[in-house]
Amino acid sequence: MSVASAGTRKPISGKSRQGLQMNQLHASINARNANMSGESISEDKLLGLLSVKVKSNASKTEIIGFIDGVLHVRVKSVADKGKANAELVKFLRKVTGKRVEIVKGLRSRDKIVRIG
């Protein structure tokens, strides 16, 4: 039996982090949208509406994860004159490689986003 020491984790590079975030996003959406038989949904069916909670003025832009069916995202920009919304759209477009649009919640932390 081996025990890992606390300080042995390697930092994730920017490109690896983006791939990790993409995998995390797709896995989270897939888990959320899985049908009752436990079968996973294909990627083309994943693209659609997504509930997002945005935390602005963070140290970096990143996906926190899915909590109670809502994708939590931190963005570096401040919530002033649409800067955080623009950064959220740009970040999700970069992570998913798809068109991203905020459908509801332009002036709220809670948003509905269309991906695809």
Residue 101 placed within a domain: yes
Is 6 a domain residue?
no
More confident residue, 16 or 94: 94
Domain of residue 92: give its range: 14-115
pTM: 0.64
Contacts 24+ apart (CB under 8 A), 29-33: 31/66, 32/66, 32/69
Q: Does 4 reside within a domain? A: no
Find the angle CA(74)-CA(77)-CA(78) to the nearest 5 degrees.
Answer: 105
Domain containing residue 33: CATH number:
3.30.1200.10
Give the count of domains, the chain: 1
Q: Is residue 44 part of a domain?
A: yes
- pLDDT digit string (tens) for 62-81? 999 888 889 999 999 999 99
End-to-end CA distance of the chain: 46
Does residue 29 fall inside a structural domain? Answer: yes
In a domain, 5, yes or no: no
